[in-house]
Amino acid sequence: MVLIARRALRVLQLQRRHVSSAVGLAESSNVATISLKNAATRNALSLAVLEDLHTALGRADGAGAIVLRSSSQQFCSGHDLDELRSATADERRAVFEACGAVMRALRRAPPVVCAVRGAAFAAGCELAATCDLVVAEPAAKFATPGVKIGLFCHTPAVAVAAALGHPRRAAELLYTGDPISAADARDLGLVHRIVDDADDAAAALAAKIATVGSAAAARHGKRVLARGVDVEASYARARTAMVDGLEHADAVEGIAAFFEKRPPAFGARRRFSTAARGPGRRRQLSTGFEHLSVVDAAARLEADAAATYLDCRSAAEVATGVVEGSVNIPYPHDGDAELIEPAEFVADADAEFARDDTILVGCRSGSRSILAAEILVDAGFTNVLHVDGGMNAWFQAGLPVAPFTG
């Protein structure tokens, strides 16, 4: 009788103590139901929501099974981009740490059945992928669209790749950012069942799990079923990559474009092709960031006192001089061979420039200039301008040069 009274009290507490207006928690028949309840943001995972979700999972720890659902027509749109774009690096780190805590809690919780209707995007896809079972309605969509706004879905990638058993099975989802249907998600292994009513199906499945046998045995089995992936180490790297990625110029532009409802203008869209060269074929790279003619580059240097010309030739290649006022950083490239060590080049550039300095890049040739500029853009320099034709064109145009001094 005392046990029944205690259990009734615990159920009552769970039902009354909703964690917040955005996260609901209730329990019935040994099944805890956690509901995302902020339709206005499509259940975006702000820091406050993540903390409340973590609290709800802790309170549901004694249940036989858990249902994770949405009370609206969309499951979860991912992280709250509005919050992230105005946050400091430390605040962003706190968001991803809180998200990591939720994913750890899900992995340690009683069996979790996720009911998906509508969109499960980005961190919402991560949330679903971390659950033990996913039931989805036919119109449900799954996506990791970060690449489209210049911010790769690093942390969702960990959960999705682990759920699918191999990174390659997650590659198309992550690299294209395109949504896939519930049927395609089932074929990949992300969804277990497609049902007309995800809430009813999840509740029935969770009730069966909670009543069919030993809850302790089920939780032990859950640990055994975990994939052979070092998830914690992967998440540690991915969280750092997410925080760093938000500082990249492409992410700043992509998120701004998202809120302004326009196509993003990324700084370095790259196109690869092959061309015959000597006995073999070498890969040639062209970039989509700003190109300047040598005449325009000279005018820019004259008009912009903060601009610097980066002469990427080695000292041995510098015969008669360099562009007046330029900086010389040898670029690690051996003739027409492939790039050797870009890290050294970036380290030298870091010693000479701030990440937002205006840098006009030229080398012995246009192809070298493009490659050098692309390395700087990838490293996070935000104002890199490629000078068409490189140093040879500069000399041919008769533009100012000065003796190379070191």
| Residues with active-site annotation | 363
Whole-angstrom Cα distance, residue 88 to residue 1?
A: 53
**Spatial distance between the Cα atoms of 118 and 141, rounded to a whole number of angstroms:** 6
Residue type, 21: S
Full DSSP string of 209-226:
HHHSS-HHHHHHHHHHHS
Do the Cβ atoms of 76 and 44 come closer than 8 Å? yes
Dihedral of the CA atoms 129, 149, 370, 382 (nearest 10)?
-120
Interatomic CA distance for residues 23 and 33, integer angstroms = 10
**What gap in Å lies between CA 357 and CA 379, rounded to an integer?**
13
Quick check: 176 and 147 in contact, CB under 8 A?
yes
DSSP-assigned states of every residue in 98-151: HHHHHHHHHHHSSPEEEEE-SEEETHHHHHHHHSSEEEE-TT-EEE-GGGGGT-
Query: Residue 5: phi, psi to the nearest 5?
Result: -65, -45
Short-list 371, 367, 303, 363, CA closest to 342: 371
DSSP letter at 248?
Answer: S
Signed CA dihedral, 219, 223, 224, 227: sign only: positive
DSSP characters over 159-171 = HHHHHHTSHHHHH
Q: How far is Cα 64 from Cα 29, in angstroms, rounded to an integer?
A: 9
CA end-to-end span of the chain:
88
Helix axes 249-260, 231-247, angle to 10 degrees: 70
Distance CA 340, CA 287 (A): 19
| Whether the Cβ atoms of residue 360 and residue 387 lie closer than 8 Å to each other | yes
